[in-house]
A and B are shown apart, each in its own frame.
Chain A
């Protein structure tokens, strides 16, 4: 097996002095792997993926992304952020810019790409998420599902090697979840490395190579989706699955 693209080694993190949010996390992700992370709220799953692009700092242990160790070194952080795209629960589109401007901003300012090329690439990505006709609108004029697809396209404009999804469908109306998941499934088929915090178990079964269950800052169990759902090992996992699949 080649070197993992993401490697957590004994990573620990606390919020303040008391709340131990990540406890001895060991995790290595192979290139092209698609991982779904689930767990109850407050279990540290969002914090875990936010450490990967340094939106959160870990305090102990080592974390290497694409061969670079994450430290306070700003240059290293910038280098990693170019390789890692992220999609948030609340979309976090820039409301004062049009959809197209949202997409071209980073390629033009970070990637130093000429405006014309950036717009061309942006339109390609908008077509990919099937929303090209909305390019001139402002984000708040779109539905939640459309906004989230724009957010995915925005992340893809920097051609990242890794995509992080932090509960991408949790803020959406039920009718819009599918259009976002469809885009994510297509993306997964393209072979990009994906880490996705979600409770969409159908999505996990369809695309994940591995499902990780977290509780109280620890990785409780990880397995391929088939065994994870059909033969969960720990009581905690069984309890969690019965709650989210029970209804």
Chain B
């Protein structure tokens, strides 16, 4: 070999994967013995279980709001009639029956605002105004007391509007709180750091139920007599403080993952503390903890069901209320649970899909 000149091999496209059903099955379901066994066992279980579920849930099920028919198929078919009969009570709780169009519109408005906030197209300053308008509309409709609408106190609010309201406001308030507390816990200033540590450790040390109890029953004892703060507001503050503490630790985890050099580079460029946090540290730290944060949002959404114990009847509470008071329908709680589970799932699944989309958006800078 004499003085060979180096010749780079030209780039070629990657081999095309063989397509079609059989290669796909082979690759994904029967690639080796353990995989094949797992496939057979799982398909077997599905064949054994699914038909019974379909028979129970569809073919033998009763959809009409007729509790005698329901009693007749008990044990063999589902009684979806309970939903047909009670859906308004489940969805709106003790809200006056004739005025239930108000919580309906209010809920649609809030969900619409939530969806709009998820779309990049709407990430403009006026989104804040949209939220302000939406909240005015929401509370205006829910309270009423003007334009011929009957006044409805918060004790009678219930069902899905209450769930959505509590979850949305606690998420919107707890997230900034968490960011500030996480930054505070890493602060060089001992007073700020101590306050943040005490807050996080105290709140994490107690169950949400006891926080709600304290907010509902103990807090008024410390207030001067005669003053009263709405129980809904107290519970909202309780949930916000509770989830803020958990989320603060998630955010702190993200902050710790950012190399020290990023802060040093920001310092060197003369950025102030808040500029550095806002422009450099937080965007990277929060991008890292999107799954954890979304976990917490979903937990908040479902944890709102605990406010039943302080006599606020959100979705789960309203369902219990609707069925417990009626001996005809009380036996069909499972079907009602399926119904509200589907609603919870719809919200939570949307949140988790959205979180995946956010992760994808944020990974742009990591792609080579």
Which residues of chain B are within 8 angstroms of A90 by Cβ–Cβ distance?
259, 261
User: Which parts of A60-107 form the interface with B (CB within 8 Å)?
Assistant: 78, 81-82, 84-86, 88, 90, 92-97, 105-106
The answer to whether A94 touches B268 (Cβ under 8 A) is no
User: Which parts of B321-353 form the interface with A (CB within 8 Å)?
Assistant: none
The answer to whether B280 touches A140 (Cβ under 8 A) is no
Q: Taking the nearest CB of chain A, how far is it from the CB of B135, in angstroms?
A: 32
Interface centre among B267, B269, B275, by most A CB within 10 Å?
B269
Which residues of chain B are within 8 angstroms of A141 by Cβ–Cβ distance?
367-368
Complex Cα–Cα for A139 and B275 (A): 21
Which residues of chain B are within 8 angstroms of A53 by Cβ–Cβ distance?
267-268
Q: Is B104 an interface residue (CB 8 A)?
A: no
Answer whether A138 and B275 are a contact pair too, CB < 8 Å, given A94-B262, A106-B270. Answer: no
Which residues of chain A are within 8 angstroms of B262 by Cβ–Cβ distance?
92, 94
Complex Cα–Cα for A155 and B264 (A): 13
The answer to whether A105 touches B267 (Cβ under 8 A) is no
Q: Is A154 an interface residue (CB 8 A)?
A: yes
The answer to whether A140 touches B271 (Cβ under 8 A) is no
Answer whether A140 and B268 are a contact pair too, CB < 8 Å, given A92-B261, A96-B287, A105-B279. Answer: no
The answer to whether B365 touches A138 (Cβ under 8 A) is yes
The answer to whether A158 touches B365 (Cβ under 8 A) is no
Bitwise interface map of A from 139 to 153 toward B, beta carbon under 8 Å scored 1, else 0: 111000000000000
Which residue from B264, B283, B368 sits with its C-beta under 8 Å from A55? Answer: B264
Which residues of chain B are within 8 angstroms of A140 by Cβ–Cβ distance?
365-366, 368
Which residues of chain A are within 8 angstroms of B355 by Cβ–Cβ distance?
none
Which residue from B265, B271, B284 sits with its C-beta under 8 Å from A88? Answer: B265
Which residues of chain A are within 8 angstroms of B365 by Cβ–Cβ distance?
95-97, 138-140
The answer to whether A109 touches B364 (Cβ under 8 A) is no
Q: Taking the nearest CB of chain B, how far is it from the CB of A82, in angstroms?
A: 5
Complex Cα–Cα for A86 and B268 (A): 6
The answer to whether A78 touches B270 (Cβ under 8 A) is yes
Bitwise interface map of B from 278 to 294 toward A, beta carbon under 8 Å scored 1, else 0: 01100110010000000
The answer to whether A94 touches B280 (Cβ under 8 A) is yes
**Chain B residues with a Cβ closer than 8 Å to the other chain, count:** 23
Task: Specify the chain A residue showing the minimal Cβ separation from B364.
Answer: A138
Which residues of chain B are within 8 angstroms of A138 by Cβ–Cβ distance?
364-365, 367
Complex Cα–Cα for A96 and B284 (A): 7
Q: Taking the nearest CB of chain B, how far is it from the CB of A167, in angstroms?
A: 13
The answer to whether B269 touches A154 (Cβ under 8 A) is yes
Which residue from B268, B280, B367 sits with its C-beta under 8 Å from A85? Answer: B268
User: Which parts of A97-150 form the interface with B (CB within 8 Å)?
Assistant: 97, 105-106, 109-110, 138-141
The answer to whether B268 touches A96 (Cβ under 8 A) is no
Complex Cα–Cα for A78 and B280 (A): 18
Complex Cα–Cα for A55 and B364 (A): 31
The answer to whether A110 touches B264 (Cβ under 8 A) is no
Answer whether A81 and B268 are a contact pair too, CB < 8 Å, given A96-B283, A96-B287, A109-B279. Answer: yes
Which residues of chain A are within 8 angstroms of B284 by Cβ–Cβ distance?
94-96
Complex Cα–Cα for A155 and B268 (A): 9
Task: Specify the chain A residue showing the minimal Cβ separation from B260.
Answer: A92
Q: Taking the nearest CB of chain B, how far is it from the CB of A66, in angstroms?
A: 14
Which residues of chain B are within 8 angstroms of A78 by Cβ–Cβ distance?
270, 272
Task: Specify the chain B residue showing the minimal Cβ separation from A55.
Answer: B264
The answer to whether B364 touches A92 (Cβ under 8 A) is no
Complex Cα–Cα for A220 and B265 (A): 30
Task: Specify the chain A residue showing the minimal Cβ separation from B265.
Answer: A92
Task: Specify the chain A residue showing the minimal Cβ separation from B275.
Answer: A109
The answer to whether B366 touches A109 (Cβ under 8 A) is no
Q: Taking the nearest CB of chain A, how far is it from the CB of B108, in angstroms?
A: 36
Q: Taking the nearest CB of chain B, how far is it from the CB of A117, in angstroms?
A: 17
20 more A-B contacts (CB under 8 A) besides A54-B267, A85-B268, A88-B264?
A: A55-B264, A78-B272, A81-B270, A86-B265, A86-B268, A90-B259, A92-B265, A96-B283, A96-B284, A96-B362, A105-B279, A106-B270, A109-B275, A109-B279, A110-B275, A138-B364, A140-B365, A140-B368, A141-B368, A158-B270
B interface, CB within 8 angstroms of A: 259, 261-262, 264-265, 267-272, 275, 279-280, 283-284, 287, 362, 364-368
The 6 closest A-B pairs by CB, nearest first: A92-B265, A106-B269, A92-B261, A81-B270, A110-B270, A86-B268
Chosen A-B contacts, 15 in total, with CB atoms closer than 8 Å, are A53-B267, A53-B268, A78-B270, A81-B267, A81-B269, A85-B268, A86-B268, A92-B259, A94-B262, A94-B280, A95-B365, A96-B365, A154-B269, A155-B268, A158-B270
